[in-house]
Amino acid sequence: MKITVAGTGYVGLVTAVCMAEKGHEVNCIDINKEKIEMLKSGHSPIYENGLEELMQKNKEKLHFTLDSQEAYQDAEIIFIGVGTPEKRDGSANLKYINEVVDQISEIVQQECVVVVKSTVPIGTNDKIEKKLKSKNTKIDVVSNPEFLAQGTAVHDTLCASRIVIGAENKRAKEIMLKVYEKFDAPFVLTNRRSAEMIKYASNDFLALKISYINEIANLCEEIGANVQDVALGMGYDPRIGSKFLKAGIGYGGSCFPKDTKALHWLSNLHDHELKTVKAAIEVNEQQKLRLIKKARKKYNNFEGLTIAVLGLTFKPDTDDLREAPSLTNIPIFLEEGAKVKAWDPVGIPNFKKIYPLEIEYCNSIEETIKDADMCFIFTEWSEIVEFDLDKYSELMKRAVIYDGRNIYDNETLKNKGIHYFCIGK
Ligand code: UDX
């Protein structure tokens, strides 16, 4: 089928490449010239496992353009995968979606299904369809949320846990089933508003699960329990499940923080307070400062101290910094006059855009921890997990570790004379 994908970020590009892999002819459009040029030369502007290889493999079926006429004029299906970032009040910013919809409305004369992949507030698909149908009654709008996690986005799309299709008529539903013909996954066929809600309800539930285990972790510290054992014991119950029970320094990324706030905002708009989601947001904001709170027990402030930071991205296997705990903590170190040395296997170029001079960026973990007074771990990169623990005492001025991801064993570190502070144990 002839598919056009608007937006070449995590959602758009991964969707486009996976659709090409399944045999479709895919045209990708973006407003960013640099990105399109990079994509045309066969390179991915985002760091995502397996994506570039799949782009190469399907290069005959993938086309990239800046020209909206070329992109939309004969598309049978148009996927919208542009960003819906958070506005200051917590609501979703639909500016980019609206721009794409305006262009589609101007150009598309043919029969076409417009598929909204971006996460949008409930009711947005209805508004989009109303706008498009006012110019072309042959357009249908379908909500088809994505459930891909960064780092495993290609796998999550090709081997989807489920494919949710929110359509209001038989024709649109049938076309979507044809688009996904070669995907082996359970299908949830529903109406548009339910599909939009499935996305928010799923993400907010996962965020809530993390905030819940983080609160339990904080209590475990007070009462002398070990949250990792607690999570293990809970996770064997199939009704609970073992995933997303890793306590730590809070969730980040481009989805959970924004989607919890957006649903909370939307519920308030309907005079309906979502108390559990509100709690998840509040707990997460506090959790991001949990290690600093611990360090404060020993140090009044960080002035004059050398702080080694290991891990800058919001999670491993991505170069994305959005809502990363490093961005909450490092400014506090800097404001109080600490010297910050940092290492991350892929996140440094993006971090440099925010802090070009204030931080000493290092090429290795050894170089980062050398002569440091303390070390903060914000991301569980495998290089940090597998690092030779003896080097902490050998290289640091004082072997003090604040670990936001619980990657080491307390006893082992204690036996090596390292002061180790983590979360919930
Ligand atoms: C998430 C959802 O998983 C995905 O389905 C949705 O489409 C987009 O949002 P992503 O943001 O890429 O994906 O990352 P995810 O792996 O879910 O992690 C989100 C955050 O939660 C990270 O900061 C991670 O460190 C944190 N996390 C995750 C925990 O703190 N504990 C856990 O047990 C799991």
CATH number at residue 335: 3.40.50.720
Pocket test for ligand 1, best of 155, 227, 246, 256 (most atoms within 8 A of CB): 256
Domain that holds residue 381: 290-421
Query: Last residue of a domain, which of 192, 214, 241?
Result: 192
Report DSSP state, residue 94. -
Confidence (pLDDT) at 90:
83
Q: Are 298 and 169 part of one and the same domain?
A: no
My answer on whether 299 and 170 are in the same domain is: no
Same domain, 184 and 306: no
The verdict on 169 and 294 lying in the same domain is: no
Exposed, middle or buried, 300 (CB in 10 Å: 0-12/13-18/19+)?
exposed
Taking the mean position of all CA atoms in its chain, how far away is CA 12?
A: 14
Please give the helix or strand (H or E) that residue 190 lies within, else none.
strand 187-190
Q: Which of 278, 365, 293, 304 lies closest to 328, judged by CA?
A: 293
Q: Does residue 12 lie within any of the structural domains?
A: yes
- Strands of the sheet containing 360-361, edge to edge, are 360-361, 339-343, 306-310, 374-377, 400-403, 419-421
Among 192, 225, 247, residue at a domain's last position: 192
- Tally the domains of the chain: 2
Q: Measured in Å, how far apart are the chain's first and last C-alpha atoms?
A: 53
Report the distance separating Cα 92 and Cα 86, nearest Å. 5
The answer as to whether 253 is a domain residue is no
Compute the distance from residue 251 Cα to the ligand 1 centre, in Å. Answer: 7
81 ligand 1 Cβ < 6 A = no
Give me the pLDDT at residue 149, please: 94
Q: Hey, what long-range contacts does 166-171 have (CB within 8 A, 24 or more apart)?
A: 166/125, 166/142, 166/190, 166/191, 166/192, 166/193, 166/194, 166/195, 166/196, 166/198, 167/140, 167/142, 167/143, 167/191, 167/192, 168/129, 168/140, 168/192, 169/140, 171/140
* Residue 41 belongs to a domain: yes
State whether the Cα torsion 94-98-99-100 is positive or negative: positive
Dist CA 288 CA 147 (whole Å) = 24
How far apart are the C-alpha atoms of 147 and 141, rounded to whole Å? 19
Phi, psi for 372 (deg, rounded to 5): -80, 150
Q: Alpha-carbon distance 270 to 290, whole Å? A: 33
In this structure, is residue 252 part of a structural domain? no
Does residue 390 belong to any structural domain of this protein?
yes
Asked if residue 342 belongs to a domain, the reply is yes
Binding site membership of 150 for ligand 1 (Cβ less than 6 Å): yes
Choice from 119, 210, 216 to test ligand 1 binding pocket (greatest atom count within 8 A of CB): 210
In a domain, 85, yes or no: yes
Q: Is the pTM of this model over 0.85?
A: yes
Q: What distance separates the 2 farthest-apart alpha carbons in the chain?
A: 72
In a structure prediction context, what are the per-residue pLDDT tens digits for the chain, which is 425 residues long? 999 999 999 999 999 999 999 999 999 999 999 999 999 999 999 888 899 999 999 999 999 999 999 999 999 999 999 999 888 888 889 999 999 999 999 999 999 999 999 999 999 999 999 999 999 999 999 999 999 999 899 999 999 999 999 999 999 999 999 999 999 999 999 999 999 999 999 999 999 999 999 999 999 999 999 999 999 999 999 999 999 999 999 999 999 999 999 999 999 999 999 999 999 999 999 999 999 999 999 998 999 999 999 999 999 998 899 999 999 999 999 999 999 999 999 999 999 999 999 999 999 999 999 999 999 999 999 999 999 999 999 999 999 999 999 999 999 999 999 999 999 99
Instruction: Please tell me the residue having the least CA distance from ligand 1 atom 21.
Output: 251
Q: Which of 192, 212, 233 is the last residue of a domain?
A: 192
Q: Is 135 a member of any domain?
A: yes
List the catalytic residues: 255
Residues 187 and 310 both lie in one domain? no
Give the distance from CA 396 to its chain's centroid: 33
